[in-house]
Structure 1
């Protein structure tokens, strides 16, 4: 893991995407070759091409009438600052189940995802690129308690003022949400691998 020093995400922890220097199949040293109008690390031996893809993450705006829930982060990244509950989408998980699990782990609340609010590309540095899905959710049950990587969790007025925020992307998302500049789209529960246990899976 690397701790980014970008002014937008000071202290945030990210997976590196520098990738391989040697081919994972034949161990030949990779070289830069033009592929799809972009230079890519390519194996001259077996033809393996290395692609750098963004890391998908979810951020969940948990709303209750005119309030939104924020968590105060403990330790790095974003120590002592507030953020929207969020997390990485693991390869075997879907984004809906990831959002529900992250909310439960960080806040103790059981939620239902009600809409997709926005999708943004966050270019932190040449080595870090994230595709962030902002979701809206409502509370179904549970008891609010900060845990996992949060030292506190509180409700704040959606119209502000906001506490000291860890990430500018969250500030922008909440400002748009408060002004109703984003219209949520429905989520299709049929494609939630963990929510729908009966759906055929690989």
Structure 2
């Protein structure tokens, strides 16, 4: 009897994991959008070589807000389908909170911005790692974890050896470019894998 119950619980757990993976694959486009937003941030900073610190901070806040909206929209769509949505809504809400905190503090100095950005990066990275643990496919799990680690490592490095109050805006800009390009690459690889998985699933169901 106990062996049967254990088997049933295992089957239910595997079914839930499979459902989450299919839901993630179905929303590959949302991850692609977030990759494009991160790449857009890097390109925007790179092309604007004369940006002041205030401009860089506002650009980053705009990116974080747009990324948050994309995460919340994807989370709401998953909620409507009865799929796992809590992590996306949490991450999106955190992004909007962070962007709002910057926008109401327009005279933010480099040190304070570095502190806020570091905390944001570590927390959002942890959310991605939590999402990776709920995925059953090893390659999808690995790419989700990679995106989470990129965010966490950048946040920790930003806090320990990142720009200070004496740093030039260019220094802050290159730190943001480094994060944006790395994060965009991880998300782009993930979205491509998920799109292929979704297309294969759709083809098999026909």
TM-score scaled by length of structure 1: 0.25
Specify which structure has the bigger relative contact order, considering alpha-carbon pairs within 8 angstroms and separated by 6 or more residues. Answer: 2
By percentage of residues, which structure has more strand? 1
By percentage of residues, which structure has more helix? 2
